[in-house]
Amino acid sequence: MIGRLNGVLLEKTPPLVLIDVNGVGYECEVPMSTFYNLPTVGEKVVLLTQFIVREDAQLLYGFGSDRERLTFRQLLKVNGVGAKSALSILSGLSVDDLVQAVALQDTALLTRVPGVGKKTAERLLLELKDKFSIDGMSIAQGGQTKSACSDVLNALLALGYNEREASAAVKQLPADVSVSDGIKQALKSLSRT
């Protein structure tokens, strides 16, 4: 199994990258979160990989962090989710956003990812509910603050702000903010723009 590539980045065309490792070019698909953090062509790159052998193909997927790779592996275990869907989910959501969606059982966040319908989102939430804590990606990690931020975001959306504005305001909040203080601070920052 190929677990890691360390070489020179030869080509990058989303979602494919080509890496030269001692004269052998490895083609690998990466999520957009990894793609955006790649160095320029011709520079050294290190990717953690997941090698998948199917009847008709041998596929290599690359990740910038071990947390992304672990999440990819968990997504593959969900019934009805293949490598392409898992890659699409990781391209559409950060690992933290996925953990938050699972913690809050938020199907709306998952259905925004292209190719993920309501039934798939529900299945993901059900099957991933207990999985993240097993691999050290604890849902409890910042769980209360994530919940407070989610409540603030929902309050801003209910007040008529669009999702982009509301999300930007929530990201500026301190980690330990309460819901009421978070709403006040977010409204202040939104009134300045």
Superfamily of domain 4-63: Nucleic acid-binding proteins (2.40.50.140)
Query: Which phi and psi (to 5°) does residue 166 adopt?
Result: -65, -45
Domain 4-63 shares a fold with domain 143-192: no
Query: Which phi and psi (to 5°) does residue 31 adopt?
Result: -70, 160
pLDDT of res. 137: 42
On whether the CB atoms of residues 19 and 42 are closer than 8 A, the answer is: no
Domain locations along the chain:
4-63, 66-134, 143-192
pLDDT of res. 7: 96
Which position has the token pair 């990819």?
A: 72
Classify the C-alpha dihedral 92-98-104-106 as positive or negative: positive
Query: Which phi and psi (to 5°) does residue 164 adopt?
Result: -65, -50
Classify the C-alpha dihedral 59-64-65-71 as positive or negative: negative
What single-letter DSSP state applies at residue 172? T
Domain range 66-134, CATH architecture:
Orthogonal Bundle (1.10)
Which spans in 42-161 are helix H? 66-76, 83-92, 95-104, 107-111, 118-128, 131-134, 143-158
CATH assignment of 143-192?
1.10.8
* Residue 101 exposed, middle or buried by CB count within 10 Å (0-12, 13-18, 19+): buried
Per-residue pLDDT of the chain (193 residues), as tens digits, is: 789 999 999 999 999 999 999 999 999 999 999 999 999 999 999 999 999 998 999 999 999 999 999 999 999 999 889 999 999 999 999 888 888 888 888 888 899 998 889 999 999 988 888 776 434 444 334 444 456 777 787 788 778 888 778 878 888 888 778 888 888 888 888 887 6
pLDDT of res. 90: 94
